[in-house]
Amino acid sequence: MSETLTTGKVGTFEYTLEDDTGKVIDSSSGKSPMVYLHGAQNIVPGLEKALEGQAVGGVLDVVVPPEEGYGESSGREPQVVPRREFPKDVNLFVGMGLRAQDSEGKPFVIYISDICGSRVLVTTDHPLAGKNLNFHVEVVGVRDATSDEIAHGHAHGLDGHAHHH
Ligand code: ZN
């Protein structure tokens, strides 16, 4: 019996992600396939749900709505932050996510939505917030997670022993 993706398994898949106009946003083509720990929220909830029970060779076309993807757009205007408030040695780019802390020290992520000279526009909306995610996925690997991977809550590469930060 072939292994299927359930909590505690590490899945590997090739993927193409398109927006609703058919524009390719991201793809594993020419890169490494995605390796993830199932049930650990390593990937968006809608895709994890669709992969549940799949085995090697499984091919899926999944439309993930924003509430199961990167969330709804907040509708709030981006905030302007002067470039000098970011670390000098960090190469900022549009779409980049940065860790920040609120006044109580609670971590959250901000995304750069635009850079105009010394003014950087940031938003708490993920660049794909409010968008349907159209995934085409092919499962190419399913294996048991190592105890380290389960303890860490993420996959350690194809064989489970990849170095990571
Ligand atoms: Zn780890």
7-37 pLDDT tens trace? 999 999 999 999 999 999 999 999 999 999 9
**How confident is the model at residue 2, as a pLDDT?**
76
Cα dist from 101 to 40, 59, 65, 85, whole Å = 23, 40, 28, 14
* CA 148 to ligand 1 centroid distance, Å: 7
How many whole angstroms from 145 Cα to the centroid of ligand 1?
11
Ligand 1 centroid vs 43 CA: distance in angstroms? 15
**How far is ligand 1, taken at its centre, from the CA of residue 81, in Å?**
33
pLDDT, residue 161, reads: 87
Q: What separation in Å is there between the alpha carbon of 155 and the centre of ligand 1?
A: 7
Q: Hey, what domains does the chain have and what are their CATH numbers?
A: 9-70+129-152 (3.10.50.40), 79-123 (2.40.10.330)
For the question of whether the overall pTM of this predicted structure is more than 0.75, the answer is yes
Instruction: With a cut of 50, list the residues of the chain below it in pLDDT.
Output: none
Residue 43 CB partners (closer than 8 Å, separation 6+)? 34, 36, 51
The confidence score (pLDDT) of residue 53 equals 98
